[in-house]
Amino acid sequence: MLEALRTRRVEKLPAQVQLEGRILFLTEDAGLVRRQLDGQDLDWRPGTTLRDNISTDEITPAYICYYYDETLGDFPYLGLKCGEEFPITRGSVKRGGFVASVSGKRRGKGSSREQSPYAEMCAGIRLVIAENIERIYRENCQNLGVLATTDFSIIDKIRRGEAIPLSAFTADEGEITRGIIEYGGLFNFNVARLQGKVVLTPPNTRPRPMTLGEKIIARHWVVDPSQGKVGVPAVKPGDEGFVVTDIRFSHEYVTPMAAIFFEQLVGADEKVYDPASILMFRDHLTFLGEAMTPERVKEGLLDVALELEKKQRAFAEKQGIKLYGELRLGHHGSEAICHSKILEGHAEPGMMIIGSDSHTPHAGAVGCIAFGVGTTAIFNSWITKDVRLTVPETVKVVVRGAKPANVTAKDFMLEILRHRYVKSGQAIGKLVEYCGDAVESLSVDERATMTNMTAEVGGFTGYVAPDEKTAAYLMEYRGMSRGDATRLCRDLASDPGAEYCEVIEIDASTIRPMIALPGDPGNGQHIEEAAARIKVDIAYAGSCTAGKKEDMDMYARVLAEAAERGERVAPWVRFFIQSGSQDVKRYCEARGYLELFQKVGATFLEPSCGACINAGPGVSKTRDEVTISAINRNFPGRSGPGQLYLANPYTVAASAIAGYITIWEPGRVLAGS
């Protein structure tokens, strides 16, 4: 494989970039967006409010990601919500002749789906401009060759038809990112590496006190790929290089596009590097047929989506890659959600893990560095086994004190997400270290809720230092001896004197059960602060974030109390409980939870991402429906068109019984409350 790439011709881009075309301003005003689509150029000035917090769910809604080729160019921004309207229609951006797209704060937050910048690129967008840009989305743009900047002065240069120096997009970047931009994308840059056209400068950081995250990065630093030399004494924030990975995984939303890139650019008969360290999952769309609207089925979207599974399965079989597939014919669901299985069966303290999903930090619960990457990065890692990385600064989140019995890790995260530092976007791209006696008291399952939701923080990844609970988890799930488990956890802690760019202090004793109001996980408030009771139509308990064993314990605790009093799910509520893996389902079977769930009127579902990505039972059907959910994010359209509130597992179960968003308290009567 490498020999074929060593003869491939690759050149740098010209020093001047000519961006010819119109500029699309994604404003809060739906009317202004429509006028631009109809051909009117907007004379935008800073006083015109741009849309903030545009998630990848809005750039390419989940159902758009069933496509994985140039067809995506018909669809960018179809989910963009301006006020209460969705002004962009299929093909309208592509027809508009736009070369640049402009928005406000935190562009590209949410899922790591590379379909978003790829759709923009296929529609003609060559440049995205925003006040700040989420890490994975920005890297995906760069990897594809789409330019990205926070410099709004470039707008006037495009309007005047001026050539723009390529250095305007590379000036503040490190050596590798600059090279990727100059070569027009990650693949060409990696080919240049293989050909010796690019020789990277190793970091010259002297030994220093390091955080745990920095230590793991330093141990995996690629020094000389030709000789397999890995590891440096120390790294510091800003050091840029490649790190070798221990595990690379992808799911059916991403694998097919990566496979197409591999076959087209490397060769249909070439083999991936070290297939034993690659995992694939069929976990996102196994319930899709139950959630897709009849209109979309008529459009052929269900058939399009099924092609994703076929392509992934064929590629995995050809390459000899382990595939966690769907259940046997006639049964919806999968063997496991990728994040659940990576933590349960593969992640070890000190590992470097990449996955094709923003919630890859889930595995950081056992003290490893696990982070999400886009399709192009996954595809390139099949060739090199490494991935580019700029060492981030580290935010330390200290949670101290004794939490109330009905407060969980989800409440910790909703409290953190509304913190001014996080809410303002200052944690974007940072390592997040969770510590303090309140975190140490949590199980690994609960720690995984925190590291998982580092994606909502906007962080690079999150982790908890391994300890005795970590060792016990490895013994239980992996069958390790105590000695082996303890050795894996040894010497994995931040050094005294390690540097943090911010320390966030949280008093667990002051936290009360929380909800995040519809629209964003950062819209947190204590439930008791709500001005009025909120009637619930759907309760959804599951996903990678809330489908673990301890989550099931929480649901069962609330529902067992209700059953003892003869209470059932409120007649108007549809209540779904979905496990994250078959291991969790077997746990529920052994404890009698499945019978309990059925007794109170809840519907148990096999593992799948499902409603969390608008692809399974539990999605809303109308804008008026209200859902209380234990998932990780509630961006517009994430789980249907309705109003989606986030809450902890206790609250979701209690609200299903009461029919209203309700705080659970042991022994409290819930029905009709």
Which CATH superfamily is 515-658 part of? Aconitase, domain 3 (3.30.499.10)
**Position 611 confidence tier, pLDDT thresholds 50, 70, 90:** confident
pLDDT at 666: 85
d(CA 378, CA 355): 7
In angstroms, the Cα distances linking 105 to 49, 50, 53, 145, 164 are 11, 8, 6, 22, 24
d(CA 94, CA 98): 7
How do residues 10-20 score in pLDDT, each as one tens digit? 999 999 999 99
Q: Of 131-140, 292-301, 575-584, 632-641, which range is least confident? A: 292-301
pLDDT at 329: 60
pLDDT at 296: 83
- Whether 1 shows a pLDDT value over 70: the answer reads no
How do residues 566-605 score in pLDDT, each as one tens digit? 999 999 999 999 999 999 999 999 999 999 999 999 999 9
- Whether 64 shows a pLDDT value over 90: the answer reads no
Closest of 305, 327, 332, 313 to residue 62, by C-alpha: 305
State the DSSP H helix or E strand holding residue 472, giving kind and residue range, or none if neither: helix 468-478
Amino acid at 345: G
pLDDT at 154: 96
The 3-class SS string of 128-180 reads EECCCECHHHHHHHHHHCCEEECCCCHHHHHHCCCCEECHHHHCCCCHHHHHH
d(CA 240, CA 519): 35
pLDDT at 670: 63
How do residues 20-47 score in pLDDT, each as one tens digit? 999 999 999 999 999 999 999 998 887 7
| Sequence-ordered alpha helix ranges (H) in 38-134 | 56-59, 92-95, 115-122
How do residues 93-143 score in pLDDT, each as one tens digit? 999 999 999 999 999 988 778 899 999 999 999 999 999 999 889 999 999
- Whether 247 shows a pLDDT value over 60: the answer reads yes
**Position 196 confidence tier, pLDDT thresholds 50, 70, 90:** confident
Strands 98-102 and 22-25: parallel
Mean per-residue pLDDT, 613-634: 92
Can you read off the two tokens belonging to residue 592? 């009698």
Query: Residue 513 in contact with residue 550, Cβ under 8 Å?
Result: no
d(CA 242, CA 260): 24
pLDDT at 2: 64
Q: Of 36-40, 286-290, 463-467, which range is least confident? A: 286-290
What does the domain layout of the chain look like in residue ranges?
19-162, 515-658
d(CA 292, CA 311): 21
pTM: 0.88
Mean per-residue pLDDT, 453-458: 95
How remote is the C-alpha of 502 from its chain's centroid? 23
d(CA 593, CA 598): 9
In angstroms, the Cα distances linking 271 to 2, 185, 473 are 10, 22, 35
Topology of domain 19-162, CATH: Aconitase; domain 4 (3.20.19)
Residue 525: strand pairing partners: 515
The 3-class SS string of 425-443 reads CCCCCCEEEEECHHHHCCC
Task: Please report the DSSP string for 350-397 in residue order.
Answer: T-EEEESSTTGGGGGGGS-EEEE--HHHHHHHHHHSEEEEEPPPEEEE
Residue that is written with structure tokens 């509130």 in the block: 645
How is residue 495 annotated by DSSP? Answer: P
Percent of the chain at pLDDT > 90 equals 80
d(CA 486, CA 178): 41
pLDDT at 5: 82
CA pseudo-torsion sign 448, 452, 458, 461: positive
